[in-house]
Structure 1
Amino acid sequence: MSVTVFIQSRNGAKRWQPGKRWLLLPALLIAAGIGAYEHNEQQFYQQQLNVDGEKAARKEQQQELLQLKSATASQLSMLATHVARMQAKLTRLEALGEQVAQSNQLEEQFDFSDEVGVGGLSDIGANIELEQLIADMDSLVLRIDKNNVQLSLLETVSSNLHIDKERYISGRPITKGWLSSHFGFRNDPFTGRRALHKGIDFAGKDGSEVVSTGGGVVTWAGPRFGYGELIEIDHGNGLRTRYGHNKALLVHAGDVVAKGEDIAVMGSTGRSTGPHVHYEVLRDGKQIDPKTFVYRKAG
């Protein structure tokens, strides 16, 4: 097959017959166009895939960020709980420490209100991780719990020592006066016969103070035959003291009295010849000689 092309010019019409190569040019142009279109289409598709992939990656990153934010909030909440627990325990520890220090007159040596002095050189370590921080705080809470228990035991021991010191019977039941009659057999001032005197008498001025020789609980405060106005105090461990012939009583049954506290006013009520206090010490309900307690050193 051949193609003839006529070209009109000033000199007339000319005939040009192209070769086979010229006939292939349109096909090549069409094929090149199709190839370029497919290439552009492939690039557009790839770009679209990349855009979709980036969108998916950003969405995944946003999801991870939300999860991290939620986990951080949970950890911070846990951290705040740990801090609150530590603050409560430290507050109690400080209160117990101050109480023990005051009870033992150690306020100048232990001040729980000031910051504890620390310092010194240290190497720079790695960054602190939240999990390690929480673990350290858990360990600190356990130490605080242990110290709370130990300090509570110390407080109990200190209190018991203080109580033992308070109820330790010693000294005279008066602030002013003199010993007028010993424990043991004597001539009864009313009958003149030999009789057992079950206490010690301390004479003094009418209306002077009568004091407790040890801390304890008042088990009797009122009149009793022979004693007049009587006060009886239970000091524990089977020991009791009695203070008889008082003019007036300053305490009532059930009261807790301290060592050296004024409990009565000296008088001459009951079977008495003049102002004095009849002082008895009883062990397991039986009168014993108070002299050992009167002259022993204060505990």
Structure 2
Amino acid sequence: MSVTVFIQGRNGVTRWQPSKRWFLLPIMLVVTGTALYQYSETRFAHQQAKVDENQQLREQQKQQVIELKNATEVQLATLVTHVAKMQAKITRLEALGQQVAQNNLLDDQFDFSAEVGMGGLSDLGTGIELSQLINDMDKLASRIDNNYLQLSLLETVSTNLHIDEERYISGRPIDKGWLSSPYGLRNDPFNGRRTMHKGIDFAGREGADVIATAAGVVTWSGSMFGYGELVEIDHGNGLRTRYGHNKSLSVNVGDVVAKGDTIAKMGSTGRSTGPHVHYEVLRGGQQIDPQKYVYRKAS
């Protein structure tokens, strides 16, 4: 099969018969164009996939940054909470320590409000993880709790020692005066009969101070038959003291008095011949000789 082409020109009609190569040219052009198109499509798809991959990677990185930020905020919040708890515990510990120091007259040797002196050479250490820091803070908080408990026990023991010292009965119930009648058998000043005197009388000036011979709680403050105006103090351990014939009373029932406090004014109320204080010591509800308490050394 052959194809003949007639071309009209100035010089007439020209006859041209193309060879088979001319028929292959369009096919080659189509094949080449298709190949170029497919190559472009493949390259575009590859580039688009790479762009999508990069975008997905950026999204992942963004999410990781957000998660890291959130985790950091949580850790910082935890750290702030730990610091706040430790500050509160240290403040409480300092207050208790200052109180114990003052109670034991050691406040001139311990200053709980100042920084603790530390120093010395040190090598540069490695970095510390936040989790390790929180763990160390937990251990420190536990040590603070333990120290606070021990210091509380020490404060209690110290206070009890002071209380025991204050409850130690000793001395006279007056500042000025003299012993006018001892404990034991005597002639009654009103009827002359031989009777048992269950206390010690200290005479003095009317209106003079009557003082507590030990710390305790007032269990009686008022008039009692025979005693006149009476103050009774419970010192614990079954011991009580009585102060009778007062002119006036300075304490009420339930008051806590310290050793040496003024509790009344000397008088001559009740069964009395003149200004004096009738002083008794009771153990287990029974009067005993106060002499050993009056003349023994203070603790």
Q: Secondary structure at the match of 1:246?
A: strand
TM-score using structure 2 length? 0.90
Q: Secondary structure at the match of 1:242?
A: strand
Runs of 4+ aligned structure 1 residues displaced above 6 Å come to 1-8, 12-23
Tell me, yes or no, if structure 1 residue 254 matches structure 2 residue 254: yes
Whole-angstrom CA distance in 1 between matches of 2:140 and 2:17: 103
Q: Secondary structure at the match of 1:39?
A: helix
Residue 25 of structure 1: how far off its partner (Å): 5.7
Choose 65-74 or 273-282, whichever is displaced more.
65-74
Whole-angstrom CA distance in 2 between matches of 1:97 and 1:116: 14
Instruction: Quote the residue 1:88 is aligned against.
Output: 88
* Partner AA of 2:133 in structure 1: L
Residue 125 of structure 1: how far off its partner (Å): 2.2
Alignment of 1:56-67 (within 5 A): 56-67=56-67
Instruction: Quote the residue 2:243 is aligned against.
Output: 243
Whole-angstrom CA distance in 1 between matches of 2:110 and 2:212: 34
* Partner AA of 1:154 in structure 2: L
Instruction: Quote the residue 1:149 is aligned against.
Output: 149
Task: Number of aligned residue pairs: give it.
Answer: 299
Choose 216-225 or 279-288, whichever is displaced more.
216-225
Alignment of 1:102-113 (within 5 A): 102-113=102-113
Alignment of 1:217-296 (within 5 A): 217-296=217-296
Alignment of 1:1-299 (within 5 A): 27-299=27-299
Whole-angstrom CA distance in 2 between matches of 1:185 and 1:128: 84
Choose 14-23 or 58-67, whichever is displaced more.
14-23
Q: Cα–Cα, structure 1 residues 99 and 33, in superposed 2: closer, same or farther, change >3 Å?
A: same
Q: Secondary structure at the match of 1:214?
A: coil
1:18-57 superposed Cα distances (whole Å, 9 cap, x missing partner)? 8777776665554444333322222111100000001111
Q: Secondary structure at the match of 2:40?
A: helix
Q: Secondary structure at the match of 1:63?
A: helix
Whole-angstrom CA distance in 2 between matches of 1:3 and 1:133: 94
Residue 100 of structure 1: how far off its partner (Å): 1.0
Whole-angstrom CA distance in 2 between matches of 1:70 and 1:47: 34
Q: Secondary structure at the match of 2:151?
A: helix
Whole-angstrom CA distance in 2 between matches of 1:17 and 1:123: 99
Whole-angstrom CA distance in 1 between matches of 2:78 and 2:270: 73
Choose 210-219 or 113-122, whichever is displaced more.
113-122
1:61-109 superposed Cα distances (whole Å, 9 cap, x missing partner)? 1122222222222222222221222122122111111111111111112
* Partner AA of 1:163 in structure 2: I
RMSD between aligned residues? 2.5
1:202-234 superposed Cα distances (whole Å, 9 cap, x missing partner)? 111111111000011111111212211111111
Whole-angstrom CA distance in 2 between matches of 1:202 and 1:177: 6
Q: Secondary structure at the match of 1:62?
A: helix
The runs of 5 or more residues in structure 1 that have no matched partner are none
Whole-angstrom CA distance in 2 between matches of 1:293 and 1:17: 155
Choose 151-160 or 205-214, whichever is displaced more.
151-160
The runs of 5 or more residues in structure 2 that have no matched partner are none
Residue 4 of structure 1: how far off its partner (Å): 8.6
* Partner AA of 1:221 in structure 2: S
* Partner AA of 1:253 in structure 2: V
Identity of aligned residues (%): 69
1:216-254 superposed Cα distances (whole Å, 9 cap, x missing partner)? 111111121221111111100000001111111111122
Choose 26-35 or 66-75, whichever is displaced more.
26-35
